Amino acid sequence: MPIDEITQRVSDRYAKAASTGEQMCCPTSYDMGHLKTFIPEEVLKISYGCGTPAGLKTVQTGETVLDIGSGGGIDCFEASRLVGLTGRVIGIDITNTMLDIARKNAAVVATNLGYPSSNVEFRKGLADAMPVDDGTIDLIISNCVINLAPDKRKVFQEMYRVAKPGGRFTISDIVSDQIVPQYLVHDTRKWGDCLSGALTLTDYMNGMTAAGFLGIHLVKFSPWRVIDGIHFFSVTLTGYKLPPAPTTSSVRYATLRGPFSRLVDERGTTYQRGIPQPITSKGTLLLSTPPFAEHFLLTLEPAPLDSEDPRWTAVFPADAPCTWQGHYALPAGPFVEVADDDHHVYRRGEPLEICSKTVAVLETDGYAPHFVILKRAGERVSGEAVTCAPDGGCC
């Protein structure tokens, strides 16, 4: 199906939904009680998405925020409240019906917030050709929209273009645990349902890295639908357009604290737990971002760690039999590869079948923020317990 045809059909369907009140797409978790205090009902009833990227403490006062696929404006209006009078919000969308509703209600929202005028502007445009100047955006948000774009590579490149050095994104979208087959790709209705255009988590995150973003990591995860054995799920991801590295730095070494025994970052550098690794100023910038910082000790001189050091962290599986219950682990960044203390090697976005003991390990605080856990078993599993062993047991 031609790209232009997909784009037009998606736009037509969302325009129809805005007129008829059809419920579209994906699960959301908006605090409607809060939003109703300043956003009109006309906007709230046509708000579709799979997350709440503007409501996750990601928006800061005074920032310039861009919402890709702003629809009726719900996320823009919440961002408007959060950036305050000194901030600015830009929403882009391709559907005239949505833009008309959003523009009509912008002044109402501004009045409800006590602003002398609206700090939100709505522009017509495509996600892969955004009408936004280079390097002008502090924060990019998007809510279940990029999966609707036929050429996501261009969308990620456009995001990187418009972001300021030091800028970031927080986006919610639908991804899958395996490649979507052609019979779904060419089902136009399922494009509007956020299914046909879904990338695998691996391809989604790799596309963002290829565009230039780093420190890409999971913020939130929620299962959605299973179709013909393909698991579709919502993820909210954050990543960074790092600023230029300083010419001098007080950091020369990075020591992995754990709980991973080994990891590889997005630049391909490998770190072994407890062993100081020389790093450049660019490496320091990356490891100083929030998803990395808690796992590393950054020092001027080498600082080796061992298991007796309180800064060393590790999570070992229980010394007991385990069962197979149909669980799969998908690491969701910011690392491209990690290893645990039970000889598992996880690669970003790739499902790995895990036993009950490994599920318990990955649910601990050090691991949990970095993994999506799916259960592929379609019914209750009643397999017998087995004994795990590094030389060829259950794992």
In one letter, which amino acid is 4? D
- In tens, the pLDDT along 216-263 reads 999 999 998 898 899 999 999 999 999 998 888 888 999 999 999 999
Residues 6+ apart with CB under 8 A from 20: none
Mean pLDDT highest for which of 4-13, 53-62, 208-217?
Answer: 208-217
- Show the domains of the chain with their CATH numbers: 3-240 (3.40.50.150), 247-314 (3.40.5), 317-395 (3.40.5.100)
Tokens 């708000």 found at:
47
- Dist. CA 114–CA 40, nearest whole Å: 15
- In tens, the pLDDT along 34-45 reads 999 999 999 998
Residues 6+ apart with CB under 8 A from 9: 188, 191, 192
| DSSP code string of 178-243 | SPPPHHHHT-HHHHHTT-TTPPBHHHHHHHHHHHT-EEEEEEEEEEEEEETTEEEEEEEEEEE-PP
- In tens, the pLDDT along 316-359 reads 999 989 999 999 999 998 999 999 999 999 999 999 999 999 99
Of 332, 342, 344, 313, which is closest to residue 371 (Cα–Cα)?
332
Tokens 């736009």 found at:
11
How many CB atoms within 10 Å of residue 86? 9
- In tens, the pLDDT along 69-97 reads 999 999 999 999 999 999 999 999 999 99
